[in-house]
Every structure is written in C-alpha cells, then in structure tokens.
A and B are shown apart, each in its own frame.
Chain A
Amino acid sequence: MSDFKIDRRGFLKALGWTGAGTALAGCDLPTTVTLEEGAEEVVSYRLPKEYAIPGVAVWYATTCTQCAAGCGLHGRVREGRVLKLEGNPESPVNAGRTCMMGQAGLQNHYNPDRITRPMQREGGRLVPISWDDALALLKGKVGKGGEIPAGKTVWFTGQVSGHQAVLIDEHLKRLGGGRHYAYELVSEGVWQKVCEDLLGDPQPTLDFRAARLVVSFGADFLGASPSPVHFAKEFAAFRHQPGDRGVLVVAEPKMTLTGASADLWLSPKPGTEGALALGVAHVLVKRGWNVVDVPAELRRLLDRFDPRTVSEITGVAGHRIQRVAFLLHEKEGAGLVVAGAGLGSHKKAYEAAAAAMLLNILVGNVGKTIKPGTPFPEPALAPRRGTTRALLEFAEDIEAGKVQAAFIYGTNPVFTAPGYLKMKERLASVPFKVVLTQFKDETAMEADLVLPLHSYLEDWGTHVPPVAERPALSIQQQVMKPLYGETRGFGDVLLALLKDLDEGTFGAFPDYYAYLRTAMENAPAEVKGGVSGWDEMLQKGVLLAKAGPAAGLKPKLVAPQVMPEEEEEEAGSRPFHLIPSPRLGMWDGRHANLPWIQEAPDQIAKVVWGSWAELHPHTAKELGVKNGDYVRIESDHGAIETQVYVHNGINKEAVAVPLGQGHEAYGRYAKGRGVNPLRILAPATDEKTGELALYATRVSVRKLDRSEKLIKMGGSETQAGRKLVATISADVYRRTEGEV
C-alpha cells in the first residue's frame, strides 16, 4: 500500500476519526426520504388538558363488536386518535388476545365508505337528508300516533345483548308488541336445542381444560361461532396439560381452522355425520364401554349401525370408527364431543347433533367435561342468541303481512339470505324499512330510511358475552370522538325513539351515555362484581358477574333418527354437496369491506381478495381441472362461476365455496369481488328446529374454458420429497424425545 512512515490508520486516529466511523460514509448519503423538510404538517393543540402529552399514548377499555363473541379490547389512543387495538387482559372471554377481525376493527372505524348523512328513499334512490327530517319521518311512522298500526313494527337484528337489547324490547313494547328477530347466519341453533332437550340446559359449560379428548362433529370452535378467541385460549390450555397433549378428532365435510389442528381428521360424506356418530356409539355399546344403561329402543337402533354399514354410508374407514370409540373409552369421563354448524345434513341436523351428544352421555362425560351453564344474573341483559330460523320466520311473517315497519340493525339479510328467499323483493313489500348502519351494504340499499351510526369505537354500550370463563358484562366505551359530525350512537337513536313515545320514563336522560351510567351505577351487586364507581368500571372495561341460578344437567338418552326417511333421489345431474363455508375473517361476509381481512389469506386455501371452489384431487382429476381453472357450480336455484383450488382437505363428494365475497354493494373493497354461494342455496331446513340446512344443496360442477392464476399466498404445497418440514407423531416423539 504505502511506505510512509506514519501509517494511515494511526494518522486517521490522530485526527479523531475511528475506523468504524469512517466506514459509515454510505449512511450519510442523503435520500429523498431523509431530506423531508416541510413535507408534513405538525399541528399543535389549541388548549389541551394538562395531562395530554403528544407522543404518549392513552389506553381506553372497550368491547369488540366484530362478531357476537364480545371480546374485551384496549384501544391505544394518541393525540385523540385510536391507532391500535389489543385485547383486554381482564376479559374472561379473550384474556388480552384478539383475532384478525378484532384487529381489523380499526379499518371498520376509519373506512372511507362510511355513511355520513341520513338518507331517505326518493324516486328509487337514496338521497341525503338532515337528522331533523329523518326523526320527523320516524315520528310520523312509528312515533306517538304514528301511521304504522300497533304490533306491526319489528326489529330485525344480529345477536344483541346488554342495555341496547333492553331498549329494543322497551321500544317494541310501546309500539304494541311486535317481534324482535335475532338472526345470525353463523350460529349454533341446532346444538343449543340438542343441549336443551338432552341435557336440560341450552348452554352448558364446555370444559376444555378438564378434557383429554375432544371430538368435533362439524364444530369449528377455533374459526367460527360462538367465540373463536375464547375457544382458542381454552384449546391451548387443553393442549398444555402436563404430560398429556390431548387428542383432537374432527369430522367435517371440508377442512376448517379447527380441523387443521386435528390429530385425526375425518371427512364423512356431507349429511352422514349422524350415522358416523351412531357407528361410534354402536362400537361403544357392543364392547360394553358405555357407563350408563342403554334402553332397548336405542340398542335396537344402534344394532343397525355396525362399522361396515356405517363405512358404506359415510365413506369413513371402519378402523377409524373403531378408533374414535376406543379413544372415547380410553379417556372415559375426560372426553368432550361437540357438534356445530358444519353438521350439514339435509333435514336431519338435529338428529345428527343428538347422536353426537349421545356419545357424551354414553361414556359419562356429562358432569365431568360438560357442566351446568353459568347464566348471566340479569336475564334482561343476556344475549338474544342469533339463529338462522329467525331469518326464515321473518321472511314468513313478511309474506303473511305481519310486518309493516322493520328496524334493521347489525345484519345484512339481503346479502346473507339464501337466494331462493328473494329477500330484496320481500323487503320491498314492507312499507317502511329503517336500516341503522355504518355502510351502504345490500340491505341499506333497499331501505326507506338509512340512519348513519357511529363505529363501535365511537360509541357506548354494554354487552354480555355468550361464552366466557365466567359471566361478565363488557362495557363499550367511546375510544375517540366521532370522526363525522352527522353519525349517531345506536343507543342514542334508540333513546330518541323512546323519548318520543315515553317522555316520562326516558326524558331524564340527555343521551345514551347518561342512561348507561345511571343504569350501571345502580346495577345490582351480582352484576357489578365488586366494582364500586363508574370510573373504575370504565378502567376495567369488564365486570365479573356472579352466575345466576342454573338447573343441574339431566342427561336423557334418545334414539336419534339420523337417516333420511325417503330414499335420497339419485344424485344424477347434481352429484356434489355445496359447502358455503364461513371462516375467521370474512365470517358471513360482514368484513369484506376491510382490506386487512381481504388481504389475510384464507387459513386453508391461502387465497386472497377473491373466491374459490375447493375440490378433492380425485374430483379435480375426474373433472379435468387444476388450480385456477374456472368452473360453473350450478344448483336448481342458480349458478356461480369461480376458480378451482385443489386440496386433500375436502370430501370427494363436496365442493366448498367460501362465504363472504360476491357483494353487490358495501363499498370499494367489497363490491364486485368474487361470488356469493348463498345465492344458489336450496330451500332445505332441519326438520326438528327449522334452522337452515346450509350444506344441503346439491350442485353440478362443470369445467369452463377460462383459466387464470389463482391469487394465493404460499408456493408449492408439496415438499417434493425433500423433507423440508420433518414430521413425527406425538407418540414417537414422546418415546424418543421425552415429554411433549
């Protein structure tokens, strides 16, 4: 290099430039980003409170309303803007965790497609009006001496609870007693009825922590109703018992988030889940593994469901049926069999769920893993559980002329109702429809009057979660001031309607906040859970209540008639079962307008921003289709066309299309994207409960000429024999590596 007497390094050091420092010359290259001067604005407060420090966040407790679970939230607020949502550790529902729907609540709040003015239908279109005009219109229709006859006004909502539900009841009472329908497409009406009939309690406590085996017949407890975050926490506890990882068996027509965690995944032919359960029961009784006496009638029934017969009916191998029975026997008293919405039989969903519950009773799980429920001490605040039956009854009542005015809130029936119900036309026959909403969804587009609501982060309320570690009242608190001047809180609108009808009772409250605060400060001790003041209630965000009285469980053995009476018509032209599948994220389509939810890949197919139809590789081969090919899926009630996704996690006789896309309104992120499988559903309901049989539609699948790359995350789905991800069974691991 150089033969100067002073070497370069020593010389540079003498000038105070260390070696490493000078090497950072590259970091001094100015870029367009670091050169930002005067590009952004920094606006100071005008007259802030002493404690308001810019840059330091304040947290407010509230409740999530992205689904009916009622998780507790903490909202992080800086300079008066909510920037991040986290779970409230105090909540017995979610204990500080959130799911993707909870996180996406920010986008519900800041969504550019929010309605900011009331709107009235005029000449077939919705035109903006003032709140004064909107309230005057309401007064004329359903106010004191209003046009609509007594008893002909109804409320059609999603699942609601707390004081909002109380005010809906009060409103209907003063209007002559019309009905409040609580409708949820993703719900468990059948399972609740089975629990009520066979155990004497529609909502028993399912103790995952006491269980060492969970067998799920179509209950996607990790990914769908009733409380995904809660059950994820419970399931984690189930897996982490010392020395015993627990066993999860899932039987479902197509793989869900829950099924993806299964140790044993079964896929009985859609509609034959009941036969599968009875097949397992047959083995239990045959081997004498039942711990209760089996009445003769049931014994005779079970005789017909030997493993070979059941294997033929369901397509599940005989040895697997034996295995499930063995597991139930091995974990006697520590097993938990649940059934859910994925139990999609035609008219026999109830019977199939009863067959599943039968297994619990046979091996003595009742009282050990299925325990008495813990009802909320104030029934008036308890959740009005949503069912699909409510939608059908609403549709019938409209047809029968029983509905002259409908208040619609927290639900989008024009999108989620099966196409054959012709909900749009049906609603058109209701003289006065008021839709209370944040967005111009399909139902709002059919309204006579649209009332723009605050987002849940701008509003007040109380909620009783349907499932929690213990009964609780979760408070919804305004986390930031409303973004728009012309939206109103849901409770405030209810209060305004009530003040008009009964100034005496409700006139004392200037707004819903005042009503809630009064109600909460005067709440009975069982509800308050030892919390004294309003401020403390707001800080905690959740009140831990004392359970109300619950009857003990009285298990009843029945003989479920799981097989259809008539011979099923030959499959012929419609050989496949359509599975319109809900999932965590889109849910029933309500979150299609949130980009984060659209962006999040489906947990199984990994597709983003679109629809797809899941097919088994054998089926795909028969049809001559591969990933990305377009197919036409046709039922007797319509057709949809979408791209194929091939994978093993679906029954060979099923085609699954996800719920949520195919919106015809609902803003820039949702509209005109993908297909809605609910459009082509067949009119099928469960015989016993009247709930929609969502998986009972038969379809044909035909390859079309189009093919495009399927937009999904992830590359190859096989390891091509390269053992990139090594797998080992839990048993072997336990033997070779020690405890799991």
Chain B
Amino acid sequence: MPFSHVRLNRVARDGAARYRRDGGVVRALFLMFALVFAGWAHAELPVPEGIVPPEGEYEGKDVPQPIEFPHDIHAKINKINCMYCHTYARRSKVAGIPPTSKCMGCHKIIATDKPRIQKLTEYWEKGESPRWKKVHDVPDYVHFTHEKHLKRFVFDKGLPVENVDQVCGLCHGDIKQGTVAKKAKPLTMGFCRRCHEANGGPGDCWKCHK
C-alpha cells in the first residue's frame, strides 16, 4: 500500500523509539487533500457525464514551433471546434495536423497583415508545410488510436460535437487557454491505465503493445 512505509517516529517517555500508531495516515490524508485541491484548481473544463476523467497533471515544456500558433484566438475567441482542424481524430489513429490548405482557406483573406499569417503564407507559396514539433507523443511501441477513444467518449455517448473539447481536454488539457500546445497531462502508462480501469477500457497488454 502506498504511504505504508511512512512512519512518524516518536521518542516515547521511556526513551525507546516507537512508531506512531496511525501508520502515516495523517500524512497520507494531507497529501490527498492537497492533490484533490490542486485538481479542482485546474478543473475549468467540465467533464461530460458518465466519464471518469484520467488522473494526473503535468507541467509540460514550452516547445517552440515554426509559427506560434494561437489556439486561444482560434478555439476560445472564435470558438472553432477542435475537429474542424484536427479532422482525422474521429477516423484515424492520429488526430492530424491540418493541411496548410485548411489554414489558407481563411487566411488568404483574414488577418493577412499579421506577421504570423505572412510567415504561413510564405510556406504556402514555397509549396511547403511548416515543420511542427510533436508535443503530445507516446513511445513508438505504444499503439494509441484516437478513433477508438472518440467513438467511446463522443459518438457512442451522443455527446454533441460542439462539446468535443471536453473530451479532448481529458488528455490534452484546456488547449484553448494558450497559444501553441503544451503538455498538461503526463501521458504515462499509469495515466492511461487508470482511465481504462475506471471507464471499462481494455486491459490486455497487446491491445496497446502489439
């Protein structure tokens, strides 16, 4: 059991060292409350009904990208749906970085005076795509598929597509608040497994480690 190694040693009145008889529960309690409170402090995205969210937070690195893409302008202010750009989430293992043509669909006209848009247009005209850095990455031996997770938590539950950010946010955090993506959840195996257990997902090793 966790924390069972914790002992509060006391020197008793007779001079002998004795363990405090609570087995460290007080310390455990304190830590748990702290964690729960921390969890609350982060919980801005509501969790859809019937989903037990995965536990664990993570302070990600600031990963510089070729263009500092502002998720806040697109997803928060303009309320563009996650899947408008990350189209393939519902039909493939990768959610996909949108093709440059999708960006240019709007930015041929919108905000063309802004430096970031001009940089994007430069890529488009040279016939290239920006070389984005992958922020949410799992090791090559892990087979994660977006399609199955969206099916389970969005489409099979009949969650309205406008609220898909609540499901995306379970693993990606509330990306709308920032510019470029930054890891907000650990994406460790424990993170995945706890959610699988709580929500009835597969527990076979070979489902993910084929």
**Chain B proximity mask over A43-61: 1 for CB below 8 Å, otherwise 0:** 1111110000111100000
Are A36's CB and B137's CB within 8 A? yes
Smallest CB separation, B118 vs chain A (Å): 17
Q: Mark B54-97, 1 if CB is under 8 A from A, else 0.
A: 01100011011000000000000000000000001001111011
Inter-chain contacts of A44 with B (CB < 8 A): 96-100, 129-130, 132
The listed residue (B2, B101, B132) touching A25 by CB distance below 8 A is B2
Give chain A residues whose Cβ lies under 8 Å from the Cβ of B61. Answer: 37-38
A83 to chain B, nearest CB (A): 13
**Which B residues are in CB contact (< 8 Å) with A729?**
none
A-B contact count (CB 8 A): 128
**Whole-angstrom CA separation of A732 from B187 in the bound complex:** 57
B149, CB-defined interface residue at 8 Å: no
Q: Is the CB of A53 within 8 A of B91?
A: yes
Q: Is the CB of B132 within 8 A of A43?
A: yes
Given A15-B32, A45-B99, A56-B91, check contact A26 B190 (CB 8 Å). Answer: yes
Q: A47-B101, A54-B96, A55-B96 are in contact. Are A27 and B190 (CB under 8 A)?
A: yes
Which of B36, B63, B189 touches A38 (beta carbons < 8 Å)? B63
Residues of chain B lying within 8 A (CB to CB) of residue A39: 133-134, 137
Does A1 sit within 8 A of B, measured CB to CB? yes
- Assess the A53–B92 pair: CB atoms within 8 A: yes
C-alpha gap A1/B131 in the complex (Å): 57
B45 CB-CB contact with A under 8 Å: no
B194 within 8 A of A: yes
In the assembled complex, which residues on chain B have CB atoms less than 8 Å from the CB atom of A29? 188
Name the segment of B18-26, B157-165, B166-174 touching the other chain: B18-26
Asked if B25 and A34 sit within 8 Å, CB to CB, the answer is no
- State whether the Cβ of A3 lies closer than 8 Å to any Cβ in chain B: yes
Query: Which residue on chain A has the smallest CB distance to residue B126?
Result: A46
Taken together as a complex, chains A and B put the C-alpha atoms of A25 and B2 apart, in Å, by 8
**B92:A28 contact, CB within 8 angstroms:** no
Q: Is A42 an interface residue (CB 8 A)?
A: yes
Size category, A interface = 35 or more
> Nearest B residue to A32 by beta-carbon distance?
B139
A3 to B56, CA, bound (A): 32
B176 CB within 8 Å of chain A: no
Tell me the smallest distance from the CB of A4 to a CB of chain B, in Å: 6
Known: A8-B23, A28-B191, A34-B139. A46 touches B94 (CB 8 A): no
CB neighbours (8 Å) of B132 from chain A are: 41-44
Question: A2, B1: Cβ atoms under 8 Å?
Answer: no
* Residues of the A chain whose Cβ atoms lie less than 8 Å from the Cβ of B63: 37-38
Task: Report B-chain residues with C-beta under 8 Å of the C-beta of A40.
Answer: 133-134, 137
Q: In the complex, A597→B181 CA distance in Å? A: 43
Q: Which of B93, B135, B183, B188 contacts A27 (CB 8 A)?
A: B188
Q: Which of B16-57 contact A (CB under 8 A)?
A: 21-23, 25, 32, 36, 55-56
Interchain CA distance A40-B93 in the complex, whole Å: 17
Whether the pair A2, B25 counts as a contact (CB closer than 8 A) is: yes
B190 near A42 (CB under 8 angstroms)?
no
Indicate whether B127 reaches chain A with its CB closer than 8 angstroms.
yes
Task: Say yes or no for B193: interface residue by CB 8 A criterion.
Answer: yes
Residues from chain A with a CB closer than 8 A to the CB of B208 are none
Distance in angstroms from B168 CB to nearest chain A CB is: 16
A4→B139 contact, CB < 8 A: no
Contact with A along B88-116 (1 / 0, CB 8 A): 10011110111111000000000000000
CA A174 – CA B129 in complex, angstroms? 49
**Interface residue? A22 (CB, 8 A):** yes
| Interfacial residues of chain A within 48-83, with CB under 8 A of chain B in the complex | 48, 53-56
- The answer on a CB contact under 8 Å between A46 and B188 is no
Given contacts A41-B133, A41-B134, A34 and B188 within 8 Å (CB-CB): yes
CB-CB nearest in chain A for B99: A45
Closest to A4 in B: B22
Give Cα A188–Cα B139 distance, bound, in whole angstroms: 49
Tell me the complex Cα distance, A36–B133, Å: 11
Min C-beta distance of B57 to chain A, whole Å: 11
* Interface residue? A726 (CB, 8 A): no
B121 CB to nearest A CB, Å: 13
B122 is an interface residue with CB less than 8 A from chain A? no
For A34, list chain B residues within 8 Å (CB).
138-139, 186-189
Judge whether A24 is part of the interface by a CB distance below 8 angstroms. yes
Question: Does B11 lie at the interface of the complex (its beta carbon under 8 Å from any beta carbon of A)?
Answer: no
Q: In whole angstroms, what is the CA distance A37 to B139 when docked?
A: 11
How far apart sit A46 and B97, CA to CA, in the bound complex (Å)? 10
A55: chain B residues at CB < 8 Å are 88, 92-94, 96
Interface residue from B91, B96, B197 paired with A20 (Cβ < 8 Å) = B197
- Are B21 and A2 neighbours in the complex by a CB distance under 8 Å? yes
A interface residue numbers (CB < 8 A to B): 1-4, 8, 11, 15, 17-18, 20-31, 33-34, 36-48, 53-56
Supply 9 further A-B pairs (C-beta < 8 A) apart from A44-B130, A46-B101: A4-B21, A8-B25, A11-B25, A21-B55, A24-B194, A34-B139, A37-B61, A43-B97, A48-B99
Query: Would you give 17 A-B contacts (Cβ < 8 Å), ordered by A?
Result: A2-B25, A8-B25, A11-B25, A15-B32, A20-B197, A22-B2, A28-B190, A36-B137, A36-B139, A37-B63, A37-B135, A38-B63, A42-B97, A44-B100, A46-B128, A48-B99, A56-B91
